[in-house]
Amino acid sequence: MKKEISNWGNYPTVKTSVTALEFEQDVRQFVGESASVLARGNGRCYGDAALSDNVFSTLKLDKITTFDVETGLICCQSGVLLSQIIELVLPKGFFLPVTPGTKFITIGGAIAADVHGKNHHSEGCFSDHVLWFDLIVGNGEMVRCSKSENTDLFWQTVGGMGLTGVIFQACFQLKKVETAYIRQEAIQAKNLTEVMQIFESSSDWTYTVSWIDCLKKGRNLGRSIMLRGEHATVDELPQKLQSNPLIVKPKLKLTVPFYLPKFTINPLTVKAFNFLYYHKEIFKKSHSIIDYDSYFYPLDGILNWNRIYGKSGFVQYQFVLPLKHSEQGLVEILETIQQQNQGSFLTVLKLFGKANPLAVQSFPMNGYTLALDF
């Protein structure tokens, strides 16, 4: 029985058969007997990733098998969500080594996409913190892959988007933190040149990311707000938070209950949003202590936010440019977007550090990366 599925952008939509299994032997048999199969996690990727004629859903592979509270080493099945990991480990003083902009992706997806975060320049991709994973290859065999065992298969799988097999379980290293909060510094930048200068002077910050107003022109082209962050220590917290520094009180989540009309996102509304977002920072530079959710996952606080783009959905396009050509390339691309009267509602700029030469399938390289939603 085929069903209609799509990813978070709701475009494209395909009809496919989806199989979800719980036990290792059943998964191995299914993979071995399938002419072709592609693993799919929680569907929070964009475009046509993990859409295929025959899809294996990993969501029943949702067991955390071991967690060492002394070393921060954790092993789990591939369908476990980042949110589940955080709920378990943060109260014990650990956090994810690398995280994308949503915590609702699976560990298998994090490896398959070799996700990066706001700390690529300082701590690399997710694969840099993976010790090993078990991969079910085309004949149904389970293969242990690590940086010292079946290394070619390890490096082809990270960033390989599921093309080498189905990840069954994995083990990776968490990072030690004192609190569940981030010490954030927000800096207004009047144009692209200024925000790039701020990025390049912020190499000693663990986390850096910038929101870009993609519709500003002339001397304000690339007007931005840079958000730099560090995991806050207990001493840096306000007194009222120091008694339970690893616990964040649950917040009321907003929701988009239905698909908004297609005309909701247009150059006028994008301009209005950009104006309000930029000017919400009253001062050129501001300091604050915010919880990890607000810094890493601001959109996760709005359930079904993808419905804002309407039933026809949206396309996210992300690219990376070599460092020496980044400014020229970004200027050309931002000007092209303006010429086409295509405002990107969310535009995010980051600076990647050096690429891992072994991770041949991974996306990042040393340079600037821009993510756009159309």
Looking at residue 309, what DSSP letter applies? G
On whether the CB atoms of residues 203 and 228 are closer than 8 A, the answer is no
Bridge partners, residue 189, by sequence: 224
Tokens representing 119 are 């700390």
Query: Token digits for 321?
Result: 């440019």
CA dist 306 and 234 (Å) reads 36
Residue 164 backbone class (left: φ over 0; alpha: ψ -120 to 50; beta: rest): alpha
Q: Helix, strand or coil for residue 167?
A: strand
Whole-angstrom Cα distance, residue 7 to residue 81? 16
62 neighbors 44 (Cβ within 8 angstroms): no
Q: What rounded mean pLDDT belongs to the chain?
A: 95
Task: Report pLDDT digits (tens) over 142-180.
Answer: 999 999 999 999 999 999 999 999 999 999 999 999 999
Judge whether residue 281 has pLDDT over 70. Answer: no
Dihedral sign (CA 181, 251, 304, 267): negative
Query: Residue 94 is which amino acid?
Result: F
Residue 135 has pLDDT above 70, yes or no: yes
Q: At what angle do helices 326-339 and 192-200 cross, to 10 degrees?
A: 150
Look-up: residue for tokens 């986390």? Answer: 207
User: Average pLDDT of 276-300?
Assistant: 88
Cβ density class 61-94: b for 16+ within 10 Å, e for less:
bbebeebeeeebebbbbbbbbbbbbbebbbeebb
User: Where does the pLDDT of residue 334 fall: very low under 50, low under 70, confident under 90, or very high at 90 and above?
Assistant: very high
Between vectors from CA 42 to CA 38 and to CA 45, what angle results, nearest 5°? Answer: 80
**341: number of Cβ within 10 Å:** 9
Nearest to 229 by CA among 298, 160, 280: 298
Express each pLDDT in 136-147 by its tens digit: 999 999 999 999
Taking residues 203-226, report their average pLDDT: 95
Amino acid 282: pLDDT: 59
Radius of gyration of the chain (CA): 21
Residue 85 CA to residue 78 CA, distance in Å, equals: 12
The structure tokens listed for 97 are 């080594």
Q: How confident is the model at residue 27 (pLDDT cuts 50, 70, 90)?
A: very high
DSSP state of 310: -
Torsion sign across C-alpha atoms 26, 88, 186, 345: positive
Residue 60 has pLDDT above 90, yes or no: yes
pTM for the whole structure:
0.96
Q: What pLDDT score does 285 carry?
A: 85
pLDDT at residue 284, rounded to an integer: 79
Q: What is the mean pLDDT of residues 187-212?
A: 97
